[in-house]
Structure 1
Protein backbone atom coordinates (compact mmCIF):
# COMPACT_ATOMS: atom_id res chain seq x y z
CA UNK A 1 0.00 0.00 0.00
CA UNK A 2 1.07 3.56 -0.60
CA UNK A 3 2.61 5.33 2.37
CA UNK A 4 -0.36 7.64 2.82
CA UNK A 5 -2.94 4.87 2.43
CA UNK A 6 -5.21 4.00 5.35
CA UNK A 7 -4.06 1.02 7.39
CA UNK A 8 -7.49 0.18 8.80
CA UNK A 9 -10.76 0.03 6.88
CA UNK A 10 -13.95 0.21 8.94
CA UNK A 11 -17.27 -0.75 7.35
CA UNK A 12 -20.77 0.21 8.33
CA UNK A 13 -23.23 -2.66 7.72
CA UNK A 14 -26.78 -1.55 6.93
CA UNK A 15 -27.15 -0.19 3.38
CA UNK A 16 -23.43 -0.76 2.81
CA UNK A 17 -23.09 -4.54 3.11
CA UNK A 18 -26.72 -5.64 3.53
CA UNK A 19 -29.95 -4.11 2.31
CA UNK A 20 -32.27 -2.58 4.91
CA UNK A 21 -35.78 -1.31 4.26
CA UNK A 22 -38.54 -1.50 6.92
CA UNK A 23 -41.19 -0.96 4.24
CA UNK A 24 -40.51 -4.49 2.99
CA UNK A 25 -41.87 -5.97 6.22
CA UNK A 26 -45.01 -3.84 6.21
CA UNK A 27 -46.24 -3.89 2.63
CA UNK A 28 -48.62 -6.74 3.42
CA UNK A 29 -49.40 -5.58 6.96
CA UNK A 30 -50.20 -2.00 5.87
CA UNK A 31 -50.88 -2.13 2.11
CA UNK A 32 -51.87 1.52 1.81
CA UNK A 33 -48.75 3.53 0.94
CA UNK A 34 -49.78 6.69 2.75
CA UNK A 35 -50.74 4.87 5.95
CA UNK A 36 -47.57 2.78 5.86
CA UNK A 37 -45.42 5.89 5.46
CA UNK A 38 -47.23 7.45 8.44
CA UNK A 39 -46.61 4.36 10.55
CA UNK A 40 -42.89 4.19 9.72
CA UNK A 41 -42.34 7.91 10.13
CA UNK A 42 -44.52 8.61 13.19
CA UNK A 43 -45.17 5.36 15.08
CA UNK A 44 -42.19 3.06 14.57
CA UNK A 45 -39.96 5.76 13.15
CA UNK A 46 -36.25 5.87 12.43
CA UNK A 47 -35.67 7.75 15.69
CA UNK A 48 -37.77 5.21 17.61
CA UNK A 49 -35.75 2.36 16.16
CA UNK A 50 -32.49 4.18 16.83
CA UNK A 51 -33.13 3.83 20.56
CA UNK A 52 -32.93 0.05 20.15
CA UNK A 53 -29.59 0.63 18.44
CA UNK A 54 -28.64 2.60 21.56
CA UNK A 55 -29.50 -0.38 23.76
CA UNK A 56 -33.19 0.01 24.63
CA UNK A 57 -34.98 -3.34 24.84
CA UNK A 58 -37.71 -4.24 22.39
CA UNK A 59 -40.15 -4.67 25.29
CA UNK A 60 -39.52 -1.07 26.36
CA UNK A 61 -39.70 0.14 22.78
CA UNK A 62 -43.00 -1.59 22.11
CA UNK A 63 -44.49 -0.33 25.37
CA UNK A 64 -43.50 3.24 24.53
CA UNK A 65 -44.99 3.08 21.03
CA UNK A 66 -48.17 1.34 22.21
CA UNK A 67 -48.67 4.05 24.83
CA UNK A 68 -48.63 6.60 22.02
CA UNK A 69 -50.74 4.55 19.59
CA UNK A 70 -52.71 1.88 21.52
CA UNK A 71 -54.83 1.16 18.46
CA UNK A 72 -51.74 -0.01 16.59
CA UNK A 73 -50.40 -2.56 19.09
CA UNK A 74 -50.39 -5.46 16.63
CA UNK A 75 -48.58 -3.43 13.99
CA UNK A 76 -46.03 -2.18 16.51
CA UNK A 77 -45.24 -5.69 17.71
CA UNK A 78 -44.88 -6.75 14.09
CA UNK A 79 -41.80 -4.55 13.69
CA UNK A 80 -39.49 -6.87 15.62
CA UNK A 81 -41.40 -10.02 14.67
CA UNK A 82 -40.89 -9.38 10.96
CA UNK A 83 -37.51 -7.68 11.18
CA UNK A 84 -35.91 -10.41 9.07
CA UNK A 85 -37.96 -9.25 6.08
CA UNK A 86 -36.32 -5.83 6.27
CA UNK A 87 -32.88 -7.29 5.46
CA UNK A 88 -33.55 -9.53 2.45
CA UNK A 89 -30.11 -9.71 0.86
CA UNK A 90 -26.51 -8.60 0.85
CA UNK A 91 -24.88 -6.19 -1.59
CA UNK A 92 -22.66 -8.75 -3.27
CA UNK A 93 -20.20 -6.27 -4.79
CA UNK A 94 -19.73 -4.45 -1.49
CA UNK A 95 -19.15 -7.76 0.25
CA UNK A 96 -16.64 -8.73 -2.44
CA UNK A 97 -14.73 -5.51 -1.82
CA UNK A 98 -14.64 -6.12 1.93
CA UNK A 99 -13.55 -9.74 1.58
CA UNK A 100 -10.98 -8.77 -1.04
CA UNK A 101 -9.44 -6.29 1.38
CA UNK A 102 -9.29 -8.93 4.10
CA UNK A 103 -7.75 -11.49 1.73
CA UNK A 104 -5.16 -8.91 0.69
CA UNK A 105 -4.10 -8.49 4.31
CA UNK A 106 -5.81 -5.18 5.06
CA UNK A 107 -7.05 -4.77 8.63
CA UNK A 108 -10.87 -4.65 8.40
CA UNK A 109 -13.35 -4.08 11.22
CA UNK A 110 -16.99 -2.97 11.36
CA UNK A 111 -18.78 -0.19 13.24
CA UNK A 112 -22.55 -0.30 13.19
CA UNK A 113 -25.71 1.11 14.69
CA UNK A 114 -27.56 -2.12 15.41
CA UNK A 115 -29.63 -3.63 18.20
CA UNK A 116 -27.78 -6.50 19.81
CA UNK A 117 -30.31 -9.23 19.08
CA UNK A 118 -30.96 -8.25 15.47
CA UNK A 119 -27.21 -8.02 14.87
CA UNK A 120 -26.78 -11.55 16.20
CA UNK A 121 -29.55 -12.64 13.84
CA UNK A 122 -27.93 -10.86 10.90
CA UNK A 123 -24.54 -12.42 11.62
CA UNK A 124 -26.07 -15.89 11.57
CA UNK A 125 -27.80 -15.18 8.25
CA UNK A 126 -24.85 -13.45 6.59
CA UNK A 127 -21.70 -15.42 7.34
CA UNK A 128 -19.39 -12.79 5.82
CA UNK A 129 -20.12 -10.58 8.86
CA UNK A 130 -17.88 -12.96 10.82
CA UNK A 131 -14.87 -12.37 8.54
CA UNK A 132 -13.59 -8.96 9.73
CA UNK A 133 -11.33 -8.78 12.79
CA UNK A 134 -14.20 -7.56 14.90
CA UNK A 135 -17.15 -5.23 15.24
CA UNK A 136 -18.42 -2.48 17.51
CA UNK A 137 -22.20 -2.79 17.86
CA UNK A 138 -23.95 0.31 19.17
CA UNK A 139 -26.48 -1.69 21.17
CA UNK A 140 -23.67 -3.40 23.08
CA UNK A 141 -21.70 -0.26 23.92
CA UNK A 142 -24.84 1.92 24.28
CA UNK A 143 -23.44 4.65 22.08
CA UNK A 144 -24.53 5.47 18.54
CA UNK A 145 -23.11 7.11 15.44
CA UNK A 146 -22.58 9.96 14.77
CA UNK A 147 -21.71 10.69 18.44
CA UNK A 148 -17.97 10.98 19.00
CA UNK A 149 -17.90 8.39 21.79
CA UNK A 150 -18.57 5.36 19.59
CA UNK A 151 -15.71 6.18 17.22
CA UNK A 152 -13.34 6.56 20.18
CA UNK A 153 -14.59 3.28 21.65
CA UNK A 154 -13.90 1.51 18.35
CA UNK A 155 -10.38 2.91 18.10
CA UNK A 156 -9.57 1.92 21.67
CA UNK A 157 -11.13 -1.53 21.38
CA UNK A 158 -9.14 -2.49 18.28
CA UNK A 159 -5.93 -0.56 18.86
CA UNK A 160 -6.32 1.71 15.84
CA UNK A 161 -4.73 5.00 14.84
CA UNK A 162 -7.69 7.29 13.99
CA UNK A 163 -5.71 9.14 11.31
CA UNK A 164 -5.05 5.84 9.55
CA UNK A 165 -8.68 4.62 9.69
CA UNK A 166 -10.90 4.81 6.63
CA UNK A 167 -14.59 4.66 7.54
CA UNK A 168 -17.30 3.70 5.01
CA UNK A 169 -20.93 4.61 5.76
CA UNK A 170 -24.07 5.40 3.77
CA UNK A 171 -25.01 8.24 6.14
CA UNK A 172 -23.43 11.64 5.60
CA UNK A 173 -23.90 12.43 9.29
CA UNK A 174 -21.98 9.31 10.30
CA UNK A 175 -19.23 10.10 7.80
CA UNK A 176 -18.91 13.59 9.24
CA UNK A 177 -18.90 12.11 12.74
CA UNK A 178 -15.92 9.93 11.79
CA UNK A 179 -14.06 12.90 10.32
CA UNK A 180 -14.71 14.89 13.48
CA UNK A 181 -13.10 12.01 15.41
CA UNK A 182 -9.97 12.33 13.27
CA UNK A 183 -10.72 9.53 10.83
CA UNK A 184 -10.65 9.46 7.06
CA UNK A 185 -14.09 8.63 5.68
CA UNK A 186 -15.98 7.82 2.49
CA UNK A 187 -19.69 8.35 1.92
CA UNK A 188 -20.99 5.09 0.43
CA UNK A 189 -23.07 5.61 -2.69
CA UNK A 190 -22.36 2.43 -4.67
CA UNK A 191 -19.80 -0.39 -4.75
CA UNK A 192 -18.32 1.12 -7.91
CA UNK A 193 -17.79 4.51 -6.28
CA UNK A 194 -16.35 2.79 -3.21
CA UNK A 195 -13.91 0.82 -5.36
CA UNK A 196 -12.70 4.04 -6.96
CA UNK A 197 -12.30 5.72 -3.58
CA UNK A 198 -10.26 2.81 -2.25
CA UNK A 199 -8.07 2.69 -5.33
CA UNK A 200 -7.38 6.42 -5.04
CA UNK A 201 -6.05 5.74 -1.54
CA UNK A 202 -3.77 2.95 -2.70
CA UNK A 203 -5.89 0.11 -1.32
CA UNK A 204 -6.41 -3.15 -3.22
CA UNK A 205 -9.72 -3.39 -5.04
CA UNK A 206 -11.00 -6.75 -6.35
CA UNK A 207 -13.64 -5.24 -8.65
CA UNK A 208 -12.88 -4.32 -12.26
Structure 2
Protein backbone atom coordinates (compact mmCIF):
# COMPACT_ATOMS: atom_id res chain seq x y z
CA UNK A 1 0.00 0.00 0.00
CA UNK A 2 1.43 3.38 -0.98
CA UNK A 3 -1.50 5.75 -0.30
CA UNK A 4 -0.21 8.36 -2.72
CA UNK A 5 3.18 9.76 -3.67
CA UNK A 6 4.17 11.64 -0.50
CA UNK A 7 3.58 8.88 2.03
CA UNK A 8 6.31 6.52 0.72
CA UNK A 9 8.80 9.40 0.88
CA UNK A 10 7.87 10.23 4.47
CA UNK A 11 7.89 6.57 5.44
CA UNK A 12 11.40 6.20 4.02
CA UNK A 13 12.52 9.36 5.85
CA UNK A 14 11.30 7.83 9.14
CA UNK A 15 14.01 5.18 8.77
CA UNK A 16 14.06 2.37 11.32
CA UNK A 17 11.32 4.05 13.33
CA UNK A 18 8.74 2.96 10.75
CA UNK A 19 9.21 -0.83 11.08
CA UNK A 20 9.63 -0.35 14.84
CA UNK A 21 6.07 1.04 14.72
CA UNK A 22 4.37 -1.16 12.12
CA UNK A 23 6.04 -4.39 13.27
CA UNK A 24 6.11 -3.63 16.97
CA UNK A 25 5.78 -6.64 19.34
CA UNK A 26 2.28 -5.40 20.19
CA UNK A 27 1.30 -5.64 16.52
CA UNK A 28 2.98 -9.02 16.07
CA UNK A 29 1.16 -10.22 19.18
CA UNK A 30 -2.15 -9.38 17.53
CA UNK A 31 -1.00 -11.24 14.43
CA UNK A 32 -0.29 -14.53 16.21
CA UNK A 33 -2.82 -14.11 19.03
CA UNK A 34 -0.15 -14.02 21.76
CA UNK A 35 -0.90 -10.46 22.89
CA UNK A 36 -2.31 -10.59 26.44
CA UNK A 37 -5.92 -9.48 26.59
CA UNK A 38 -5.13 -7.13 29.47
CA UNK A 39 -2.58 -5.33 27.28
CA UNK A 40 -5.05 -5.06 24.41
CA UNK A 41 -7.82 -3.68 26.62
CA UNK A 42 -5.47 -1.17 28.24
CA UNK A 43 -4.41 -0.02 24.77
CA UNK A 44 -8.02 0.14 23.59
CA UNK A 45 -9.08 2.34 26.49
CA UNK A 46 -6.15 4.68 25.87
CA UNK A 47 -6.83 4.67 22.12
CA UNK A 48 -10.41 5.77 22.80
CA UNK A 49 -8.97 8.77 24.66
CA UNK A 50 -6.47 9.27 21.83
CA UNK A 51 -9.19 9.31 19.17
CA UNK A 52 -11.00 12.12 20.94
CA UNK A 53 -7.89 14.31 20.72
CA UNK A 54 -7.13 13.05 17.22
CA UNK A 55 -10.61 14.14 16.16
CA UNK A 56 -9.89 17.61 17.54
CA UNK A 57 -6.68 17.70 15.51
CA UNK A 58 -8.54 16.83 12.32
CA UNK A 59 -11.14 19.47 13.19
CA UNK A 60 -8.26 21.93 13.55
CA UNK A 61 -7.17 20.89 10.05
CA UNK A 62 -10.51 22.21 8.77
CA UNK A 63 -9.54 25.66 10.02
CA UNK A 64 -6.03 25.36 8.54
CA UNK A 65 -7.24 24.29 5.09
CA UNK A 66 -7.05 26.59 2.08
CA UNK A 67 -9.79 25.13 -0.09
CA UNK A 68 -13.32 23.86 0.33
CA UNK A 69 -12.19 20.46 -0.95
CA UNK A 70 -9.55 20.26 1.79
CA UNK A 71 -12.11 21.31 4.38
CA UNK A 72 -14.56 18.64 3.24
CA UNK A 73 -11.89 15.94 3.33
CA UNK A 74 -10.84 16.85 6.87
CA UNK A 75 -14.45 17.11 8.05
CA UNK A 76 -15.17 13.65 6.60
CA UNK A 77 -12.25 12.25 8.59
CA UNK A 78 -13.62 13.80 11.80
CA UNK A 79 -16.96 12.12 11.08
CA UNK A 80 -15.30 8.74 10.45
CA UNK A 81 -13.29 8.95 13.66
CA UNK A 82 -16.17 9.94 15.93
CA UNK A 83 -18.93 7.85 14.40
CA UNK A 84 -17.17 4.79 12.97
CA UNK A 85 -13.66 4.02 14.21
CA UNK A 86 -14.37 4.87 17.82
CA UNK A 87 -17.29 2.42 17.80
CA UNK A 88 -14.84 -0.49 17.59
CA UNK A 89 -13.47 0.58 20.96
CA UNK A 90 -16.92 1.02 22.49
CA UNK A 91 -18.11 -2.37 21.20
CA UNK A 92 -15.10 -4.40 22.30
CA UNK A 93 -14.84 -2.71 25.69
CA UNK A 94 -18.57 -3.16 26.32
CA UNK A 95 -18.14 -6.90 25.76
CA UNK A 96 -15.52 -6.81 28.53
CA UNK A 97 -17.75 -4.89 30.92
CA UNK A 98 -16.20 -1.46 30.30
CA UNK A 99 -18.86 1.17 29.62
CA UNK A 100 -18.41 4.18 27.36
CA UNK A 101 -18.77 6.36 30.43
CA UNK A 102 -15.76 4.58 31.94
CA UNK A 103 -13.85 5.02 28.67
CA UNK A 104 -14.57 8.74 28.64
CA UNK A 105 -13.45 9.08 32.26
CA UNK A 106 -10.25 7.05 31.83
CA UNK A 107 -7.03 8.65 33.08
CA UNK A 108 -4.80 9.56 30.16
CA UNK A 109 -1.43 7.80 30.08
CA UNK A 110 1.74 9.93 29.72
CA UNK A 111 2.53 8.37 26.32
CA UNK A 112 -0.93 9.36 25.17
CA UNK A 113 -0.49 12.93 26.38
CA UNK A 114 2.90 13.20 24.67
CA UNK A 115 1.58 12.02 21.32
CA UNK A 116 -1.74 13.84 21.15
CA UNK A 117 -0.35 17.14 22.38
CA UNK A 118 2.50 16.92 19.89
CA UNK A 119 0.01 16.56 17.04
CA UNK A 120 -2.17 19.41 18.31
CA UNK A 121 0.88 21.62 18.81
CA UNK A 122 1.97 20.88 15.23
CA UNK A 123 -1.36 22.24 14.09
CA UNK A 124 -1.48 25.25 16.38
CA UNK A 125 2.13 26.34 15.83
CA UNK A 126 2.43 25.28 12.19
CA UNK A 127 0.35 25.24 9.05
CA UNK A 128 -1.76 22.67 7.22
CA UNK A 129 1.28 20.68 6.04
CA UNK A 130 2.80 20.54 9.53
CA UNK A 131 -0.45 19.15 10.85
CA UNK A 132 -0.87 16.59 8.06
CA UNK A 133 2.70 15.34 8.55
CA UNK A 134 1.98 14.79 12.25
CA UNK A 135 -1.39 13.12 11.57
CA UNK A 136 -0.26 10.83 8.76
CA UNK A 137 1.62 8.09 10.68
CA UNK A 138 -1.46 7.09 12.65
CA UNK A 139 -3.97 7.08 9.79
CA UNK A 140 -1.76 5.50 7.15
CA UNK A 141 0.26 3.31 9.49
CA UNK A 142 -2.87 1.63 10.80
CA UNK A 143 -3.99 1.06 7.23
CA UNK A 144 -0.68 -0.59 6.42
CA UNK A 145 -0.76 -2.69 9.59
CA UNK A 146 -4.38 -3.75 9.11
CA UNK A 147 -3.83 -4.81 5.49
CA UNK A 148 -0.74 -6.84 6.41
CA UNK A 149 -2.31 -8.56 9.42
CA UNK A 150 -5.37 -9.48 7.36
CA UNK A 151 -3.00 -11.42 5.09
CA UNK A 152 -0.68 -12.84 7.75
CA UNK A 153 -2.66 -13.34 10.97
CA UNK A 154 -2.48 -16.96 12.12
CA UNK A 155 -5.17 -16.57 14.79
CA UNK A 156 -8.47 -14.71 14.81
CA UNK A 157 -8.18 -13.53 18.44
CA UNK A 158 -8.01 -9.91 17.32
CA UNK A 159 -10.02 -10.24 14.14
CA UNK A 160 -12.33 -7.30 15.00
CA UNK A 161 -9.41 -4.89 15.29
CA UNK A 162 -7.66 -6.26 12.21
CA UNK A 163 -10.90 -6.29 10.23
CA UNK A 164 -11.59 -2.65 11.05
CA UNK A 165 -8.28 -1.41 9.66
CA UNK A 166 -8.13 -3.88 6.77
CA UNK A 167 -11.69 -3.07 5.68
CA UNK A 168 -12.46 -1.52 2.31
CA UNK A 169 -13.88 1.54 4.09
CA UNK A 170 -10.72 2.18 6.08
CA UNK A 171 -8.44 1.50 3.14
CA UNK A 172 -10.48 3.95 1.08
CA UNK A 173 -10.11 6.52 3.86
CA UNK A 174 -6.33 6.00 3.77
CA UNK A 175 -6.31 6.52 0.02
CA UNK A 176 -8.30 9.74 0.49
CA UNK A 177 -5.89 11.02 3.13
CA UNK A 178 -2.94 10.14 0.91
CA UNK A 179 -4.52 12.09 -1.95
CA UNK A 180 -5.22 15.01 0.37
CA UNK A 181 -1.57 15.11 1.44
CA UNK A 182 -0.37 14.94 -2.17
CA UNK A 183 -2.62 17.78 -3.29
CA UNK A 184 -1.75 19.90 -0.24
CA UNK A 185 1.97 19.41 -0.93
CA UNK A 186 1.49 20.28 -4.60
CA UNK A 187 -0.49 23.42 -3.77
CA UNK A 188 1.94 24.75 -1.17
CA UNK A 189 5.46 23.66 -2.12
CA UNK A 190 5.15 22.39 -5.68
CA UNK A 191 5.67 19.22 -7.69
CA UNK A 192 9.22 18.61 -6.41
CA UNK A 193 8.71 18.74 -2.65
CA UNK A 194 12.09 17.22 -1.83
CA UNK A 195 13.74 20.31 -3.32
CA UNK A 196 11.77 22.64 -1.04
CA UNK A 197 13.47 24.17 2.02
CA UNK A 198 10.44 23.00 4.00
CA UNK A 199 10.87 19.33 3.16
CA UNK A 200 13.31 18.31 5.95
CA UNK A 201 11.08 19.85 8.62
CA UNK A 202 8.01 18.04 7.30
CA UNK A 203 9.92 14.76 7.28
CA UNK A 204 10.95 15.43 10.87
CA UNK A 205 7.31 16.02 11.83
CA UNK A 206 6.39 12.65 10.36
CA UNK A 207 9.38 10.92 11.95
CA UNK A 208 8.61 12.33 15.41
CA UNK A 209 4.97 11.27 15.22
CA UNK A 210 6.14 7.80 14.18
CA UNK A 211 8.43 7.63 17.22
CA UNK A 212 5.46 8.58 19.39
CA UNK A 213 3.45 5.75 17.81
CA UNK A 214 6.17 3.34 18.96
CA UNK A 215 5.82 4.78 22.45
CA UNK A 216 2.06 4.28 22.28
CA UNK A 217 2.48 0.58 21.50
CA UNK A 218 5.05 0.33 24.31
CA UNK A 219 2.46 1.79 26.65
CA UNK A 220 -0.13 -0.73 25.48
CA UNK A 221 2.21 -3.67 25.83
CA UNK A 222 3.12 -2.82 29.42
CA UNK A 223 -0.06 -1.62 31.16
TM-score after normalising by structure 2: 0.30
More helix by share: 2
Q: Which has the higher contact order (CA 8 A, sep 6+)?
A: 2
More strand by share: 1
